[in-house]
Structure 1
Amino acid sequence: MKDVLLPAGAREGAAPPVADVAVGADLTWPLRRAAHLYGERVSVVDGTTRLSYPEFVAWCDRLADAVRWCGAQPGDRIGVLGANSAEYLAAYFGVPAARCVFVPLNARLADAELAQVVADCEPALLIADAGHAARAAQLATATGIRWVTMEQLIGECGDSPRERSSAEEPAPDDPAAIFYTGGTTGRAKGAVLTHRSLTANALHMSVGLGYRDDDVYLHCAPMFHLGDGMSVHPVTWAGGRHVVIPRFDPGAVLSAIETERVTCTFLVPTMLTLLIDHLDRLERQPDLSSLRLVVHGGAPIAPSLLERAIARLGCSFTQSYGMTEAGPILSFLPHEEQLLGRPELRSAGRPVVGVEVRVVRPDGTECGPGEVGEIVGRGPNFALGYWRQPEVTREKFRDGWYWSGDMAHRDAAGHLYIVGRAGDVIISGGENVYAAEVEAALAAHEDVLEAAVIAVPSAQWGEQVHAAVVLRRGAATAVADLDRHCRGLIAGYKSPRSYEFHEVLPRTGPGKIDKLVLRRPHWAEQERGVS
């Protein structure tokens, strides 16, 4: 891979590969298996588009050839900007099949943030759908990259796919994707995931969720996140059907479940709230009897919401916990409908098969049951490290383990109970918001002397971004001014939803801002320190 700039020995520090993903572990493997075994079965439904598995394989091959036709070389990054679609699903397979690196771009980012990500990964090509063509053109102008629409990409390939040599086939340890996460220093981090790590995660999820060949999976969460993307490969491997809608919309979700007989989907708690509220307002109740499993994650779920969702949807629920760097799954809490009223319902579940998870003290020694420490994990599913950030890679990937920054304790049965985050991360509506990014945006306002950003509980979002601000003396700046300022620099979901103003901020002994003091009144009535 060109230009990855990982620290020397980064791969040696990762967990050793396991036998089940040591041979043939590339991302075309699940797809070609399904096409071989399930023939003309429908694999993808996107509006009026219905593709059999052989037809979808042809789409993916054509996309891979088109990327090469445009001059991309092995190891080049290929950015993808768009709404959920069959074409986006094809990019999950076609870009890595070309031995290029799939880089899904978060369409919710502000223009300046997108430009920073593009400047960081330097894609050889940016692919955009028609709805994001204007933004792609702006990005191209700002960064000097080449961009094409999905339609242009396929058109430029020509009619005759090139023959592939064995040297062009992807290898297990080739980088397959870079998924960007927020940065604690204000700079986004690109987690470099290989064919092996994503294939391993697909196997782990297959064991943990039991995907079947008769499953119909609904993609309604954004496909630029691994929350939804994590099911692309295991559902395909099982020979299931993908149903795609452009974005989350409660009515569209319920319609798709009823019409396409959806069996599985992934939702963050905020989506569940909106879905159940919408369902409660309907005069005619849709037929949701096909639904067997809802996987949720991205933020802890309120027990009252979970109970309500179980009652209204009538299916099994599984909580997922993980992070982008793990590709993304560390643990599952399955069959939550059977755990109502039990203490483990407050946990993030137990480590999934194939992943080793520990709770450790700062020196790396393992904590006993009930003792709070940091969650660390290792397995073949983990990223190589961070794109062009060797120092952060060395900090987070140590001695073969990934140090998550999440603080937790475990019970005697191995359930993980998350109590806080060492990395100062706010999870709002399933999106990670790093306090440092928001603080940097606030600090850019001429009237702001100092700002501290914390998570406060929210019934709608799980957590919401809250800012404690010190203004320069005599400033007349109002909340609306700060809100406009922040939204001009960072995505709307990162901007503070609430503010408090101080003459001075509380400090710890060494002089650092004491965020525990700021958080305490907001969380006093909550059962735990994160939502």
Structure 2
Amino acid sequence: MAADLKPREVLDLYPPHEDTIPSLLASRRSVGPDRPVLLFEGRIWSYARIDDASDTLARALVLRGVRHGDRVALVSLNSDVGLLVFLAAVKAGAVLVPMNPNLTDGELSYLLKHSRPVVVASQADDLERIERITGAFDEVPWLLPLDEIGATARDVDGIVARIQDYAGPNGPIGLAAVRPEDPAVVIYTSGTTGLPKGVVHSHRNHVWAGEAFVERMHLQPDDRLFTVLPFFHINALFYSWGGALAAGAAMITAPRFSASRLWALAAETGATVFNILAALGNILANRPRSEFDPRHRITRIYGGPISAEMIRVFQQDFHIPTLIEGYGMSEIPGACNNPFDGPHKVGSIGRPARHPRLDGTFVELRIIDEDGRDAAVGEMGELLVKTPIMALRYLDDPEQTRAAMRDGWFHTGDYVRRDEDGYYYFVARKRDIIRRRGENISGAELDRILSEHPDILEAATIGVPAELGEEEIMAVLVPRADPPSAQAVLDWCHGRMATMKIPRFVVFVNALPHTSSHRVEKYRLKQDPSLLAKAYDRERAMAGAEPTRA
């Protein structure tokens, strides 16, 4: 296979498809049926075998009553059998709803009630509680234990045999024809500021998001995309899996992120492209270098946010030349990114994304001020995104759909700014703006600066009530080892941030609360009064009063 093909040339290697997930898989199979498409824990799936096995499983689902438009929940860590359920569900015309198995009973109950699946496919560890939770529902879904379709098998042959046994002699059972606009996936938001919302995406959205990832990372057919991010979020399912299918390449995954094993796994599997989040990248950057395996073949990383220090570490210590920062949300996959061919601007989320087989504009971006007017270059405002792969809607939530998706534009709730070259820069979530003495201060900006302190592993800044109204800034810090003094951290901030942005309060904690996608749950920090009670108070110290010690 030729190397260094342009993104459009990669897509042109394959016959046209119908903008559906099954037709994309069939197109890539027709050119390379024996090429690897998925590697998981020593098992290697070819395009032909995964296509045939998911066909058999799809017919088994139809035989058991799954119909076009039904929802199929998947409660599992990443696995090859989970992706077979995904392919089988969409081939049957159903909609996959992946869920985090680490949710509490209450959280899982809410998602299952809200999504109303007809079947729940689950890893063994969660079968009992799912049966207990759903047993109280008016309409009880049936359970598909992943072990019954080969989750514990030793090899691909074993999984195929288990699926054939499960399906039985289903004969010429037909599969529903699916259309590009049909729903294929529901991704639930993390719900850090309210109840999770079910983001409904079509077949076309998934296919085009994968093809756009070919453009974003210049994927080649012999690439192996490595992800340890969970399939119940957009990054792994749309970028890594969708990108691998679009390029006719392969994806490598693992049940969970293991920092100590990651480099060895990358070397053993021949990974070439790696998707990260900032938290994951920072963890790797701070791990012992004895865990690093220089045999790895990774040349490209996609993720965000990517700091200058992360670029330095990954290029110099880990020998990975290209890091591409981008921006997207569950509702708007891959909205923008730094162009692969450059120029790359550190700290920027880049420019509007492009699609390799669509002429003209693919994504449009706007920045609006509080009055809805377009913001000038350099001014902060809310980011609006118009993309053909915007979510269809929020599941059973017309009010939230109308609020967020207006006149073809998605209102992100994120503040950004744009420079004179048309590059965009994330400033903060609307809900992460701290109002101090008449000024709007970005919590995300302060988090980034504080995290660069040599003795700080992770930082989260939040607003706390001020005596005279508005807010004061509190920094909640996770130290690397022994905590530095709070005043030493504040002294370090001088010259690195404006004086008015320097926190008044500092408190050290052992760990910050995170969502499953590694975002800090700042709302939980705001709900914990003990943090402020034990925080160091800079103003009291300056006034000569005995300060509270962190």
The 5 A counterparts of 1:75-474 are 75-143=69-137, 144-152=140-148, 154=163, 155-160=165-170, 162-164=172-174, 168-183=176-191, 186-230=194-238, 231-282=240-291, 285-297=292-304, 300-315=305-320, 316-326=322-332, 328-334=333-339, 339=344, 344-353=345-354, 354-424=362-432, 457=447, 459=451, 464=460
Contact 1:333 1:350 in 2 (8 A): yes
Number of equivalent positions: 434
1:294 to 1:336, Cα distance in 2 relative to 1, 3 A: farther
Contact 1:34 1:239 in 2 (8 A): yes
Aligned to 2:40: 46
Mapped partners of 1:406, 1:467: distance in 2: 17
Q: CA deviation at 1:350?
A: 0.9
Aligned to 1:524: none
Mapped partners of 2:532, 2:329: distance in 1: 37
Q: CA deviation at 1:92?
A: 3.1
* Worse overlay, 94-103 or 56-65: 56-65
Mapped partners of 1:135, 1:211: distance in 2: 41
Which among 25, 44, 58 is matched to residue 31 of structure 1? 25
Structure 2 residue matching 1:345: 3-state secondary structure: coil
Q: CA deviation at 1:304?
A: 1.8
Structure 2 residue matching 1:172: 3-state secondary structure: coil
What letter matches 1:120 in structure 2?
H
Mapped partners of 2:331, 2:200: distance in 1: 8
* Worse overlay, 34-43 or 273-282: 273-282
Mapped partners of 2:168, 2:35: distance in 1: 28
Note the alpha carbon deviations across 1:203-252, whole angstroms, 9 max, x for none. 22221211110101113111211121122122112111122211111233
Q: CA deviation at 1:336?
A: 10
What letter matches 2:389 in structure 1?
N
Q: CA deviation at 1:417?
A: 1.1
Mapped partners of 2:106, 2:39: distance in 1: 34
Mapped partners of 1:364, 1:345: distance in 2: 29
Contact 2:263 2:296 in 1 (8 A): no
Contact 2:18 2:24 in 1 (8 A): no
Mapped partners of 2:339, 2:248: distance in 1: 22
Structure 2 residue matching 1:377: 3-state secondary structure: strand
Larger relative contact order (C-alpha < 8 A, sep ≥ 6)?
1
Q: TM-score, normalised by structure 1?
A: 0.74
Mapped partners of 2:246, 2:126: distance in 1: 30
1:265 to 1:425, Cα distance in 2 relative to 1, 3 A: farther
Mapped partners of 2:169, 2:246: distance in 1: 29
Q: Which runs of 5+ in 2 are unaligned?
A: 1-15, 150-162, 355-361, 435-442, 467-508, 541-550
What letter matches 1:198 in structure 2?
H
Mapped partners of 2:517, 2:423: distance in 1: 34
1:465 to 1:110, Cα distance in 2 relative to 1, 3 A: farther
Note the alpha carbon deviations across 1:21-76, whole angstroms, 9 max, x for none. x9711111221122111121222221232221100111221232222222111111
Q: CA RMSD in A?
A: 3.5
Note the alpha carbon deviations across 1:402-442, whole angstroms, 9 max, x for none. 1111111101221111112125599xxxxxxxxxxxxxxxx
Note the alpha carbon deviations across 1:470-491, whole angstroms, 9 max, x for none. 9xxxxxxxxxxxx9xx99xx99
Which one has a bigger Cα radius of gyration? 2
1:374 to 1:249, Cα distance in 2 relative to 1, 3 A: same
Structure 2 residue matching 1:217: 3-state secondary structure: strand
Q: TM-score, normalised by structure 2?
A: 0.71
Contact 1:406 1:421 in 2 (8 A): yes
Structure 2 residue matching 1:278: 3-state secondary structure: coil
Contact 2:326 2:338 in 1 (8 A): yes
Q: CA deviation at 1:334?
A: 4.7
What letter matches 2:415 in structure 1?
M
* Worse overlay, 90-99 or 389-398: 90-99
Structure 2 residue matching 1:348: 3-state secondary structure: coil
1:209 to 1:178, Cα distance in 2 relative to 1, 3 A: same
1:182 to 1:36, Cα distance in 2 relative to 1, 3 A: same
Contact 1:70 1:157 in 2 (8 A): no
1:301 to 1:81, Cα distance in 2 relative to 1, 3 A: same
1:368 to 1:280, Cα distance in 2 relative to 1, 3 A: same
Contact 1:192 1:387 in 2 (8 A): yes
Percent identity between matched residues is 24
Mapped partners of 2:179, 2:288: distance in 1: 46
Mapped partners of 2:225, 2:85: distance in 1: 18
1:103 to 1:423, Cα distance in 2 relative to 1, 3 A: farther
Q: CA deviation at 1:306?
A: 2.8
Mapped partners of 1:44, 1:291: distance in 2: 17
1:172 to 1:218, Cα distance in 2 relative to 1, 3 A: same
1:83 to 1:184, Cα distance in 2 relative to 1, 3 A: closer
Q: CA deviation at 1:172?
A: 0.9
Mapped partners of 1:173, 1:378: distance in 2: 17
* Worse overlay, 100-109 or 78-87: 100-109
Contact 2:17 2:27 in 1 (8 A): no
Q: CA deviation at 1:161?
A: 5.2
Mapped partners of 2:97, 2:33: distance in 1: 30
Mapped partners of 1:398, 1:463: distance in 2: 35
Mapped partners of 1:352, 1:148: distance in 2: 38
1:175 to 1:503, Cα distance in 2 relative to 1, 3 A: closer
Mapped partners of 1:274, 1:184: distance in 2: 22
Note the alpha carbon deviations across 1:369-395, whole angstroms, 9 max, x for none. 112111111121111110111011101
1:462 to 1:123, Cα distance in 2 relative to 1, 3 A: farther
